[in-house]
Amino acid sequence: MKGFTEWKSGGGCRQLQRERFQRKNEGGSRGVARGSRDASSPQEPCYLLRNMISKSPPLRMCPAGWKLLAMLALVLVVMVWYSISREDSFYFPVPEKKEPCLQGEAEMKASKLFGNYSRDQPIFLQLKDYFWVKTLSAYELPYGTKGSEDLLLRVLAITSYSIPESIQSLKCRRCVVVGNGHRLRNSSLGDAINKYDMVIRLNNAPVAGYEGDVGSKTTMRLFYPESAHFNPKVENNPDTLLVLVAFKAMDFHWIETILSDKKRVRKGFWKQPPLIWDVNPKQIRILNPFFMEIAADKLLRLPMQQPRKIKQKPTTGLLAITLALHLCDMVHIAGFGYPDAHNRKQTIHYYEQITLKSMVGSGHNVSQEALAIKRMLELGAVKNLTYF
């Protein structure tokens, strides 16, 4: 560029113009030679070269560009390091790849977990099984209904048990069980979760305000009276099925008083359940205790008969996975897992500031449940959208 500038300032362009003028004069009476150009013509070489120089970006801009790239690279490195050191701060979701849904896949892999496994059991308890013929159960709640049949009969008379036709008619059901774990925070999984055929949620986990991480679609929500502190109309869709997980006879009594607007019960619960709960009875379903039995016996290896004071039971999350393996062909999970036992400051939910201390005395063995979920992941019975 420097040599060209010297050539230009030294008269290089003027020399070209003189030579062109001489050639035009030699043409004589023939006039200006055909195809000749004026020095100011846009096609004249000097004109083009001058424009090239005037429009060329200055070379001194390059160092600033490199500084900007270096700064961006440094910020990215810091973000990755911080994400590794504090897993709750940043999350980089894997780009979504829609997997093919294979009919019967979950049932086949569930049989490896549960042994002699059959899908003949209904998902929800049905009135006909208790009205016309007494269905005798070997166990009391939560693994059976022994001793609670009369209460249950009154509840089943005002609720329903059907699975929506939109789900029943699917040839292959793609399901995701959305846990309540802190790992969902900043996950940006909302859009991916909404694309599943069925989205199963747990207890009082909110949707409003967290749609970007947990989605907004809710096909089923499993709950029990003490966890029913959510607005059924705000945190669910109009067609969401609200599935009661009964741990004790008083749970049936509570839902009956809510749906029939009878005198509320205040005793018999470890936490006061809602006294007013605006819900459509046709949205309520009663989960078959069969799934509690399967989760307790096959996954957690718990004895069927336990002393009342130290009775252990599966979490709602493990129940939901067991239910999904029974109902769906593809089962994915998200937001499962607890912090390490030594991490006492890490919150366990994406929506509230409580730690593992809140699990003390709950009757849930979170370590044993973690092993059960890892076994499902290893067998390919479920796939994790977050990390575990």
- At residue 108, φ and ψ (nearest 5 deg) are -65, -45
Q: What is the mean pLDDT of residues 30-45?
A: 44
pLDDT at residue 4 is higher than 70: no
pLDDT given at position 220 = 98
Other CB atoms within 10 A of residue 386 CB: 17
Pair 219, 199: CB distance under 8 Å = yes
Residue bearing the bigger pLDDT, 17 or 354: 354
Q: What is the mean pLDDT of residues 67-90?
A: 64
pLDDT at residue 78 is higher than 50: yes
User: What letter represents residue 232's amino acid?
Assistant: P
Task: Quick: pLDDT tens for 118-162.
Answer: 788 999 999 988 877 666 788 999 999 999 999 999 999 999 999
Pair 254, 273: CB distance under 8 Å = yes
What are the E-state strand segments in the chain? 174-178, 198-202, 220-223, 241-244, 284-286, 330-334, 383-384
The pLDDT mean for the chain works out to 82
**pLDDT tier for residue 252 given thresholds of 50, 70 and 90:** very high
Task: Quick: pLDDT tens for 318-352.
Answer: 999 999 999 999 999 999 998 776 777 789 999 99
Tokens of 85: 């050191």
- At residue 343, φ and ψ (nearest 5 deg) are -90, 90
pLDDT given at position 63 = 59
pLDDT given at position 34 = 41
Pair 183, 337: CB distance under 8 Å = yes
10 Å CB burial of residue 366 (0-12, 13-18, 19+) is middle
pLDDT at residue 208 is higher than 70: yes
* Chain position carrying tokens 């989205």: 199
**pLDDT tier for residue 246 given thresholds of 50, 70 and 90:** very high
Residue bearing the bigger pLDDT, 386 or 55: 386
pLDDT given at position 53 = 43
Parallel, antiparallel or unpaired: strands 241-244 and 284-286: parallel
pLDDT given at position 80 = 60
Task: Quick: pLDDT tens for 186-202.
Answer: 999 999 999 999 999 99
pLDDT at residue 32 is higher than 50: no
The CA-CA-CA angle for residues 118, 314, 387, to 5°, reads 95
Contacts of 295 (CB under 8 A, 6+ apart): 314, 318, 319, 322
Residue bearing the bigger pLDDT, 38 or 177: 177
Contacts of 252 (CB under 8 A, 6+ apart): 148, 151, 152, 154, 155, 246
pLDDT at residue 371 is higher than 90: yes
10 Å CB burial of residue 349 (0-12, 13-18, 19+) is buried
349 forms beta bridges with 181
pLDDT given at position 138 = 87
pLDDT given at position 178 = 99
* Chain position carrying tokens 């809710």: 218
**pLDDT tier for residue 179 given thresholds of 50, 70 and 90:** very high
Give all domains of the chain, ordered by start, each with its CATH number: 2-56 (no CATH), 97-384 (3.90.1480.20)
Other CB atoms within 10 A of residue 61 CB: 8
pLDDT at residue 236 is higher than 90: yes
Pair 190, 214: CB distance under 8 Å = yes
Residue bearing the bigger pLDDT, 272 or 99: 272
Angle between the N-to-C axes of helices 2-9 and 12-26, in degrees from 0 to 180, rounded to the nearest 10 = 50
pLDDT given at position 351 = 96
Residue bearing the bigger pLDDT, 32 or 357: 357
Pair 164, 239: CB distance under 8 Å = yes
